[in-house]
Structure 1
Amino acid sequence: MKKYIKNIKTITCTVLLSALALTSCTKDLNVNPQDDDNLLASQLFSNENSYKQALAGVYGNLALTGTDGAGSSIVKGLDAGTSQYGRVLLYLQTLSTDQMVWSYENDPGVREIQRNIWTAQNPLITGMFGRAHVSIALANNFLRETTNEKLDERNVSADVRSKITNYRAEVRFLRALSYYHMMDLFGQANFITEATPLNSQPEAANRARLFEYIETEVKAIENDLLDPRTNEYGRVDKGAAWMLLAKIYLNAEVFIGENKYAECLSYCEKIINGGYSLATDYLHNFMADNNTNSARNEIIFPIISDGVVTQNYGPTTVMINGEVGSIEKNGASLGVGDGGWGGALRIRKQFAELFNGANFTNDTRNTIISANRDIEIADISDRNSGYIVTKYSNKTSTGENGKDQTFVDTDFPLFRLADVYLMYAEAHLRGGGGTASTAVNYVNQLRSRANNSQTITTGDLTLDFILDERARELYWEAKRRQDLIRFGKYSNGNFNWAWKGNVSGGIPISTNLNVFPIPANSLAANPNLTQNTGY
């Protein structure tokens, strides 16, 4: 993907504006076209050399936000920070839990998310709902413009035709991925495909409908995707499809009230046998060259970042600049400016305590800096309180800086093999099959890779252990909220953390917060949507 990343910005903006002009599913986003010189879709696709570039444009919505640099947003009323796909996904899945605190609560929407007091007017929630639907609109537009009839009209060459089936499968996966995030975060979505009549009012799909659609759609495209690890880095292959299926099956009891752990374990086995391997160093997964170092063998699907060509305020730029402590000013060691963002990000006490114990002292997953800091955060605005972490870096594995010292080169590992190992272990414990010895072996491979001195036995392998190990292995990878909900520890007071429920020590929150509200403007735009219970 990075081989032609230079085209993503221009093409994404072209495809984005064209797609949004042709569909009503995002009209509640109040899209604001900013470039009068953008080509119409018909003109873009008339050049058969542009099909791969148009494909890159669909991928590009995961990283880019607008048509005029990192600070622009195509969605009127939302800035780039509240409408970037990976960033808002990170906020909703991580900032709303025990793993992260954002110091600057005057930033729109942040205070409500990290204190679990959000409403349907929250701009971060609106940003996630909107940006996911933009991905869906982009995918639908690409699929409408690449039918056999359209290709015949344009007399497209046999060479391009030979690739279109694969391109379309990748785009269908990206659309299914957005519907997956909608199903998980909101429990419903505006449902529209390339077959939906243009400018019609979209129907609303609930979790059951979305689950069925995602499962059917991803299975339908499986044979049209390239085998695992045979596509260009950053593009979808069978491994990504298997991962998405494994994810919906792991969470099926939450999504549709059905046990599908056997299916989850089966797809985990397919991924594990798909040619992936763990990075030789845990931290390689989170460095500026994670597209070329040993992490390339582990990362199944990333959100691409490039510090020069695709500058954006996405998750890795946010986390690396935010990791720089107000006391430590450790930006140079992370490949950004010395002061970074002045102590923007810290961790909560309950997460820090997961690394207590001598066996975690040299564990490479333990990137906590605690010296001269209090583990407690009595005042969120006090950037000198609370521990910090340095998991992500804009340094390469050979010690060089990324190309820019604000916008980073580090790709966000949305799916990676380590998660699959832990999913296998959990699915086994929940009755999905497999063997305890295999599950223990996978966990110990992760611990060995991290230089943890303690291996586990089958007696140690419990669901509580898996939840904690997932936190240690996968923190700040947009997994924690979903994990806590699946384990019954997000709401109802089974597990509290600092500032949960807007109280410094943490209090129980209502179960209705297990899903986010449908944004108010989306409800107004589509009467088929209904507000989630409790909002």
Structure 2
Amino acid sequence: MKNFKFNLLTLVGLLLLFSSCTDDLNVTPDDDDVLTAEEFYSQPGAYKQALAGVYGNLSLTGTGDAGSSFLEGVDAGTSQYGRCLWYMQDLTADQIIWSYENDPGTRELQRNIWSADNPIVLGMFSRTMVEVAIANEFLRQSTPEKLSSRGITNSSEIANINQYRSEARVLRALAYYNLMDLFGKAPFITEDNPVNFQGPEYNRQQLFTFIESEINTVLPSLKAPMANEYGRLDQAVANMILAKMYLNAEVFIGQNKYVECVTKCNEIIAGGYSLNANYLNNFKKDNHTSSEIIFTLQSDAVTTQNYGPTTVLCNGQVGSIEANGSAFGVGGWGGAIRLRKQFSQVFSDPIFTNDTRNTIISAGRDIEITSIADKDQGYVFGKYSNISSTGVVGSNSTFVDTDFPLFRLADVYLMYAECAVRGASNATMANAVLYVNMLRERANNGATTANIIASDLTLGFLIDERSRELYMESHRRQDLIRFGKYTGGSYNWAWKGNGSNGIAISNNLKVFPIPTASLASNPNLSQNIGY
């Protein structure tokens, strides 16, 4: 059972935490029963409920049903954190096509022709800044002075609240990590700033320094890996954020930090995680039981209904020809997602025929997508499922019970291997090969037929292996940028740059534009070059 649950009522309660700063966030409370802060925090369990709201913003979009949003001018579908992240990391790269280009913002993203007015870009920027705001307000409301004024003196309760504060700081760091990666800059605001403060613009170096310092400060106070209740973060999650930052440090700040990445990978690996014996069990409705998953975005068909990434993926992967929704426990959206040829080809070698990661369905389909509107063109896939590992079907045929695996151990193994190839002095090629082969053997039901040797382990191999292992998990754009394959014309994919066979795109597209609305609300922000 999923232990740490938030629901719509939690988010209603959390609106009070930032209802006084709605002008700069464009947040609209839509419930008449929102309490004052003092009323809210006088309730038993209020601080844990408030913490649940900081987590809840990563899954929920509003205080009504799944279609509600408390962000002005942005609907639920274009402002859900995980969905926007998936759009921006995967839809903009070489793996998938979204068939319904009338859905706001999708056409521009998948053709790499977005602008500062793209609603999904606005949704992601706004959602992550709301996460910063909610975390900041939680930290303001949980200071020693606030606790004392409310008569909270029990040492055990104070210790729990201090634990919550550490988690809130990591969640804020995660939001700033996303902003640093996607936008290259962000307004910087902490709990020490007044409400409605228009933060100064921080560049990537400044954000990198803050995130690194913030996580390292709270890391000792976080619970050990796998020691927290499900749904809450621990030291492994904090280390994962640092590892991803160090892996991409040459892109972010122009510095080689592969040694630091390996250190964090080793700490995560030592945390007790293990590969799930069945690869696909990481993507089923009971994936909260997987020993491999480090952190998820929670989804529940009853208490957290949302149009998030797993609802989109489970329904979107249902083929227009196959009508195979029952195989995944959903009704399906009639061919919303198809595969670009370049992704299908990473599984084309016969060695991947029996690879459990290869969920591609090709029968009766052309690998080419010459018309995005033709949902019968292009292969489809079947990675995500609203059915449990024991065959129990989800409780709803649209909204799924499957959590989205934001971080998992397989990625750590591949990060270690990449650092070894890139020359990290504290990584060995023997361990790198071992980790890759653990993934290969898992994918082949224990057989060693697809195992590699050290000479096989190259950057070219790794960018393809990351695609095979981590597809549809919101990593691809970042990976292609790090490997020098995203912009320019050295590697093109179908519909890159709005050409059916792909054309070169300019370097400014390595970051997204600051949304026009965000520029208007904060004069300290400047637009990224090229927009």
**What's the TM-score once normalised by structure 1's chain length?**
0.97
Q: Secondary structure at the match of 1:231?
A: coil
Aligned amino acid, residue 321 of structure 1: N
Q: Secondary structure at the match of 1:407?
A: coil
Q: Distance in 2 between matches of 1:189 and 1:2?
A: 33
**Aligned runs of 1:397-416 on 2, under 5 Å?**
397-416=389-408
1:129 pairs with 2:122: no
1:252 pairs with 2:243: no
Structure 1 residue 203: deviation in Å?
Answer: 1.0
Structure 1 residue 402: deviation in Å?
Answer: 1.0
Deviations 1:76-131 (A, max 9, x none): 21111000000000000000001111000000000000000000000000000000
> Aligned residue for 2:317?
323
1:91 pairs with 2:73: no
Aligned amino acid, residue 473 of structure 2: E
Aligned residues with identical type, % of pairs: 60
Structure 1 residue 36: deviation in Å?
Answer: 1.6
Structure 1 residue 19: deviation in Å?
Answer: 3.1
Given that 1:48 and 1:160 are in contact with CA atoms closer than 8 Å, whether structure 2 keeps it comes out as no
**Aligned runs of 1:443-522 on 2, under 5 Å?**
443-451=436-444, 453-522=449-518
1:188 pairs with 2:171: no
- Structure 1, unmatched stretches of 5+, are none
> Aligned residue for 2:333?
341
Q: Distance in 2 between matches of 1:150 and 1:264?
A: 38
Aligned amino acid, residue 50 of structure 1: A
Q: Secondary structure at the match of 1:346?
A: strand
1:9 pairs with 2:8: yes
Given that 1:9 and 1:57 are in contact with CA atoms closer than 8 Å, whether structure 2 keeps it comes out as no
> Aligned residue for 2:303?
309
Q: Distance in 2 between matches of 1:230 and 1:94?
A: 31
Structure 1 residue 385: deviation in Å?
Answer: 0.4
- Give the alignment partner of residue 20 of structure 1, picking from 1, 18, 21: 18
Moved more, 344-353 or 201-210: 201-210
Deviations 1:137-158 (A, max 9, x none): 1100110111000110111133
1:288 pairs with 2:285: yes
> Aligned residue for 1:371?
363
**Aligned runs of 1:148-167 on 2, under 5 Å?**
148-156=144-152, 157-167=154-164
Q: Distance in 1 between matches of 2:209 and 2:3?
A: 35
Q: Distance in 2 between matches of 1:529 and 1:494?
A: 33
Deviations 1:442-486 (A, max 9, x none): 000000001073100000000110110000000000000000000
Q: Distance in 2 between matches of 1:212 and 1:13?
A: 34
> Aligned residue for 1:350?
342
- Give the alignment partner of residue 61 of structure 2, picking from 58, 65, 78: 65
> Aligned residue for 1:222?
219
Q: Distance in 2 between matches of 1:343 and 1:421?
A: 33
Structure 1 residue 200: deviation in Å?
Answer: 2.3
Given that 2:8 and 2:64 are in contact with CA atoms closer than 8 Å, whether structure 1 keeps it comes out as no
**Aligned runs of 1:517-528 on 2, under 5 Å?**
517-528=513-524
1:438 pairs with 2:431: yes
> Aligned residue for 2:294?
300
Aligned amino acid, residue 118 of structure 1: W
Aligned amino acid, residue 435 of structure 1: T
Q: Distance in 2 between matches of 1:19 and 1:115?
A: 39
Aligned amino acid, residue 10 of structure 1: L
> Aligned residue for 1:242?
239
Q: Distance in 2 between matches of 1:416 and 1:269?
A: 14
- Structure 2, unmatched stretches of 5+, are none
Q: Distance in 2 between matches of 1:218 and 1:8?
A: 27
Q: Secondary structure at the match of 2:7?
A: helix
Q: Distance in 2 between matches of 1:88 and 1:239?
A: 24
Q: Secondary structure at the match of 1:302?
A: strand
1:421 pairs with 2:413: yes
Aligned amino acid, residue 255 of structure 1: F
- Give the alignment partner of residue 200 of structure 1, picking from 197, 201, 204: 197
Q: Distance in 2 between matches of 1:347 and 1:326?
A: 13
Structure 1 residue 287: deviation in Å?
Answer: 0.2
Aligned amino acid, residue 312 of structure 1: N
Aligned amino acid, residue 386 of structure 1: G
Deviations 1:159-187 (A, max 9, x none): 31121121111110000000000000000
Moved more, 28-37 or 230-239: 28-37
Q: Distance in 2 between matches of 1:455 and 1:41?
A: 58
- Give the alignment partner of residue 376 of structure 2, picking from 374, 384, 396: 384
Q: Secondary structure at the match of 2:172?
A: helix
RMSD: 1.1
Q: Distance in 1 between matches of 2:198 and 2:497?
A: 37
Q: Distance in 2 between matches of 1:198 and 1:81?
A: 28
Structure 1 residue 4: deviation in Å?
Answer: 4.2
Q: Secondary structure at the match of 1:318?
A: helix
Given that 1:14 and 1:41 are in contact with CA atoms closer than 8 Å, whether structure 2 keeps it comes out as no
> Aligned residue for 1:279?
276
Aligned amino acid, residue 94 of structure 1: D
Q: Secondary structure at the match of 1:388?
A: coil
Given that 1:189 and 1:206 are in contact with CA atoms closer than 8 Å, whether structure 2 keeps it comes out as yes
Q: Secondary structure at the match of 2:287?
A: coil
Structure 1 residue 22: deviation in Å?
Answer: 3.3
Deviations 1:47-99 (A, max 9, x none): 24211111111100000000111000001211110000000000000000011
Given that 2:166 and 2:221 are in contact with CA atoms closer than 8 Å, whether structure 1 keeps it comes out as yes
Aligned pair count? 526
Q: Secondary structure at the match of 2:441?
A: helix
Q: Distance in 2 between matches of 1:225 and 1:518?
A: 33
